[in-house]
Amino acid sequence: MSITPQMVKDLRDKTGAGMADCKKALDESQGNMEEAIEILRKRGAASAAKRADRSANEGIIIAKTSADGSKSVIVEVNCETDFVARNEEFVKYAEEIANALLSNDVKDEESLMAVNIGGKTLLDLHNEILAKFSEKIGVKRFEVIKAQGFVADYIHAGSRLGVLVETNIQNAVEDAKALLRDIAMQIAAMNPGYVKREDVQTGALEKEIEIYRDKAIQEGKNPEIADRIAKGQIEKFYQEQCLLEQSFVKDSKKTVNDILSEIAKLTGEQASVLSFRRYFLGE
C-alpha cells in the first residue's frame, strides 16, 4: 500500500511523533493506522530502556485536592529538559497522572500505570509520550493524603515547587482557606523541617546541641558557657525549623501559630496543622 503524506500527517496528529517515525510505522503496518499507533507506543516503551542511565532532573510538580476535599495528592513527573517540561502535551500527561491518583486507590507506580483513562491505561499514555520526546520521562515520587480535615495546596510559579498542608479543620470558610494557603506558601518559602518542636526527634536534637556546643568551645568558650550558648541556639533552631514557631512571611510580627489562632476565630474550631508535604523539583 502506498503511504501518502496525508496519512503521515494524520498519524502525527494522533500521536505527536516525528514525521520520519510516523512514516516508518505506517510502512511497517502497511498503512494500518491502529497498528501504526501501536508500533509507535511499543517503540516508545522499548526506547525507554536505552534512556535509563540518563539524568531526568527537569519536569513538573503538581499538588491538588479532590472537589469534595477528602483526598489530596502531590506528584513529581520528571523529564530531561526544560523545553519538554514546558510542553503542553507533557503538562497534560502529568495532569492525567495527578487526576488518576485522585480518582483511584493507587498503592505504587505499577498500579498507577494500570489506571484506565478513556480506554487507555496510563502506561499506554506513558509510552505515547516517550514516542513523542526522545527523553527519559517518568514519575519520580508521589504521595496521597486521605484528609482528616481541610488540605491546602500550593504550587509556586513555574511548577517546580509544590506543597500540601493537612489540617484538622472541618468547615473552612473562604477567609480561613486564604490564610491556610498563606501557610502553604510559608512552607514553600521557608522549608521547615517539622510542624512543632515536639516533632523533633531526640537524636536530631542532641546532634544539634553537640554541634553548637563544640563550635562554642572551638571559639574559646569554657564548657559551662558553651552549654548555655548551645541551649540558646536550640531555641533559634526551633524558630527556624518548626513551622508553628517561624515568623510569618507576610507579617514578621506574627508567628505561624498566631495565624492558626486567627483561623480558629474564623472557623470556630481549634486549628492545627497535622502534617505537610513539600516537593522541590529534582531534590
CATH number for the domain including 216? 1.10.286
| Total tally of structural domains belonging to the chain | 3
Task: Please give the full DSSP string across 199-255, using - where no structure is assigned.
Answer: GS-HHHHHHHHHHHHHHHHHTT--HHHHHHHHHHHHHHHHHHHBGGGSEETTEEEEE
Q: Does a structural domain hold residue 162? A: no
Residue 85 is part of a domain; what is its CATH number? Answer: 3.30.479.20
Task: Look up residue 269 and give its three cell numbers.
Answer: 474550631
- Around 113, how many Cα atoms within 13 Å sit in the side-chain half-sphere? 11
- Examine the domain organization and report whether 92 and 37 are in the same domain: no
- Residue 54: what pLDDT? 61
User: 67: burial class by Cβ within 10 Å (0-12, 13-18, 19+)?
Assistant: exposed
pLDDT at 135 over 70: yes
pLDDT at 43 over 80: no
Q: Does a structural domain hold residue 74? A: yes
- Examine the domain organization and report whether 46 and 56 are in the same domain: no
Q: Does a structural domain hold residue 111? A: yes
Domain that holds residue 15: 5-50
80-108 confidence digits (pLDDT tens):
999 999 999 999 999 999 999 999 999 89
Q: Does a structural domain hold residue 235? A: yes
Directed axis angle between helix 5-15 and helix 33-50, to 10°? 60
Amino acid at 221: K
Mean pLDDT of the chain: 88
Residue 92 phi/psi, 5° resolution? -60, -40
Amino acid at 280: F
- Examine the domain organization and report whether 121 and 82 are in the same domain: yes
Higher pLDDT, 277 or 35: 277
Task: Give the DSSP H or E segment for 283.
Answer: none
Residue 77 phi/psi, 5° resolution? -115, 125
- Examine the domain organization and report whether 140 and 58 are in the same domain: yes
- Examine the domain organization and report whether 38 and 73 are in the same domain: no
- pLDDT interval class at 46 (50, 70, 90): very low
Mean pLDDT over residues 191-216, rounded? 86
Q: Does a structural domain hold residue 184? A: no
Spell 144-157 as b/e; 16+ CB within 10 A means b. Answer: bbebebbbbbbbbe
